[in-house]
Structure 1
Amino acid sequence: MGDDHSEGLRMLSHRTAELPAASGKFGPVARGPLSSPSRAGAGGRAGRSRNRPGPPAPGPAPPTHRAHGGRAPSGPAQGGRAGVSGTDEAECPSMPPRRGHIVRVQSLTLVAASAALLAPTTFPGAPPPPLPEPPAQLLLPGAPDRPGPLRADRSGVRIGPVPHVPAGQPAPHVRQRTDSGPEAGPRAQRDASGSPVRAADLLARVRDCDPVSRGRYRSDAGAPADIPVCGTKEAVYWKADLDVDCDGRPGDRCNSGTDPHFSPATAYTGSDGRPLDAERLPYVVVPGPSDTWDHREDGVRGGSLAALVHGDRVRYAVVGDVGPSDLIGEASYAAARSLGIPADPEGGGVASDVTYIVFKGSQVEPIDDTAAAEKAGERLARRFVDGG
């Protein structure tokens, strides 16, 4: 009993050694390996750790019992600790505070917040971008404010290339005059007065109609057949609408994507043997031969010269294609543009007021020589207006 009492007094003296003189609270006096600020933090967390003795107070050292071989005796040691003596316990390393879960939760929170800041800003309810509006259609002065005419399906069988005139019956060729001197422009073949043929003069010449067709044509599918082909000894002519023909050589504006009735062929071919180019060559389309009218009987063939009149404009073209045998009133993309008519192959064209005059027995070679067609067309138009 005496030894136990003495041992208890020594342990009590060790614990009271950490009591500050004035605070009345436990705390380390001398900072050693077992007394660190982290283990004596706020909230008394150090009180939940093991109380490690500081440097021993002066006095006799507590007895240390060791078994033979330097090992602590088996069985419970004093103070109720099993297998651990006071000396062994002082040599144990200090344990860090149990804050691992708290630190890990804070780290995950910071990572999630950073990912939210770096993520692209999207709005699920944002409306889709607006669809592009269809291009506005330019309405020229005098053009009716209406949708495009109902296009006929002109993709049927076309005749061509039309055979040339048999030998012994050569067609009269139109050649450029050589006695007129240099020309001032691409359509500058003029009369002696130097003025071009006017639209009013041509329209006055074709005011009356002497029909050469045995029946009449439709302007479009479903329209009434009320258009005759008229003629004089110099020319044949008709007054109709203008549907845009984009057949022939495909291009940026004339192809199967822009024209639902596109055909990659024309009845007549160019100087290179390929189909004509509707985007660049002004040409007119004549109806296919039928009981109503056979254009070949009136000296009209591929390359024949034609004058087109719309409003106050006169433009010259060639016969370049053959269409359905019951429809009339069609010209190439380039011809429509030259007359100031909207040239969109699907919705362009004009419903009326286009006069087609084709000069009998005329022909331009090569068929795609636009400069020669303009000069020769001006000369033939002047002759036609003058009555001979």
Structure 2
Amino acid sequence: MRVQSLTLAVASAALLAPTSYPAAARIHPAVARIHPAAARIPPAVARIHPAVWREGAVSAADLLAKVRDCAPVARGRYRSDNGAPANIPVCGTRDAVFWKADMDIDCDGSPGPRCNSRTDPYFAASTAYTQSDGRPLSAERLPFIVVPAPSSLWDYRDHGIGGGSVVAVVYRDRVQYAVVGDTGPQGIIGEASYATAKGLGIRADPHGGGAPSGVTYIVFKNTKVSPIEDHAAAVTEGERLARRFADGG
């Protein structure tokens, strides 16, 4: 979250909106401490700045500064898509693994109005990990990412990662907290659920949506959200882990 951007948003809201906002949502407490006057902002501003409003305690810049250098942990490199060059390393630190790739849209899992066999020709009504009730995850409701299935190239399980591991996904100036929820092809990396893309302002369409590059996936080792479908818990834990990661441990 950039202080200057938030200040401009608050100033614009003060000029354009009424002086009291009984129906306004509350901004994140960490932001309110920095900007006491911004403790209540009109919902219109919240819609314009969702990353600041909901999940902006640690900025994208803070996280990206910690993943500039790569210490590879995989035996080789991944492709972003079939036929693409194998040039994406999986990198590691003491507390996390990360990669920088594209974002393909995963619409698999429990079907809904936006993710089903009609909207996605490759739809599969299952996910590698399931909800606490045994049902597949909902890609359109739950922010989660897809990790490559274990192979001789890399096995995510060897790094304290599994279903429910906490993830910070960074795109431009936004941070979306998510969990590991599905597995994909062994040689391809860079995929996340419909809900993850939507939260980042990426076109969340399994038919031609996603982002061609510029997405950073940071998976925190030895973490687990339970139940896996509890996104609020993922945000709370994600903010704590992201702050520790950004502060250098």
TM-score bucket (shorter structure): 0.7 to 0.9
Partner of 1:234: 95
* Residue aligned with 1:372, SS: helix
Alpha-carbon displacement from aligned partner over 1:64-100 (angstroms, at most 9, x marks no partner): xxxxxxxxxxxxxxxxxxxxxxxxxxxxxxxxxxxxx
Distance apart, 1:271 and its partner CA? 1.6
Q: Distance in 1 between the 2:239 and 2:137 partners?
A: 23
Q: Following TM superposition, by how much is the alpha carbon of 1:358 offset from its aligned partner in structure 2, in angstroms?
A: 0.2
Tell me which of 362, 374, 380 is aligned to 2:241.
Answer: 380
Deviation for aligned residue 1:191: 9.7
1:325 is paired with a residue whose SS is coil
Report deviation, 1:189: 7.2
CA separation of 1:299 and 1:192: change in aligned 2, threshold 3 A:
farther
Structure 2 match to 1:123:
none
Work out which of the residue numbers 84, 89, 97 in structure 2 matches 1:223. 84
In 1, Cα distance between the equivalents of 2:98 and 2:248? 15
Equivalent residue number for residue 141 of structure 1: none
How far apart, CA to CA, are the structure 1 residues paired with 2:245 and 2:186? Answer: 28
Residue number in structure 2 paired with 1:334? 195
Q: Give the TM-score, by structure 1 length.
A: 0.51
Deviates more, 1:361-370 or 1:193-202: 193-202
Percent identical across equivalent pairs? Answer: 67
Q: Distance in 2 between matches of 1:199 and 1:214?
A: 28
Amino acid across the alignment from 1:332: S
Secondary structure in 2 aligned to 1:371? helix
* Structure 1: distance between partners of 2:190 and 2:135: 24
Per the TM alignment, residue 196 of structure 1 is displaced from its structure 2 partner at its CA by 1.3
Structure-2 residue corresponding to 1:295:
156
- Give the TM-score of the pair, scaled to structure 2: 0.79
Tell me the residue number matched to 1:357. 218
Task: Name the Cα RMSD after superposition.
Answer: 1.6
Where structure 2 has 5 or more consecutive residues not aligned to the other structure, the ranges are 1-25, 35-55
Mapped pair 1:243 → 2:104: yes
1:309 aligned partner: 170
1:278 and 2:124 are equivalent in the alignment: no
Q: Pick one of 98, 112, 125 that aligns with 1:264.
A: 125
The letter of the residue matching 2:107 is C
Query: Greater helix share, 1 or 2?
Result: 2
Which consecutive unaligned segments of at least 5 residues does structure 1 have? 1-183
Is the 8 Å Cα contact of residues 191 and 382 (structure 1) preserved in structure 2? no
**Mapping 1:164-175, distance limit 5 Å:** none
Q: Distance in 1 between matches of 2:105 and 2:30?
A: 29
Report the Cα distance in structure 2 between the residues aligned to 1:326 and 1:256, rounded to whole angstroms: 25
Contact 1:190 1:379 (8 Å CA) reproduced: no
Please name the residue that 1:201 is paired with: 62
Structure with the largest fraction of strand: 2
Q: Distance in 2 between matches of 1:189 and 1:206?
A: 27
Amino acid at match of 2:238: G
Query: Deviation per CA, 1:119-162, whole angstroms, max 9, x where unpaired?
Result: xxxxxxxxxxxxxxxxxxxxxxxxxxxxxxxxxxxxxxxxxxxx
How far apart are 1:318 and its partner, in Å? 0.3
Q: Which structure has the higher relative contact order (CA within 8 Å, separation 6+)?
A: 2
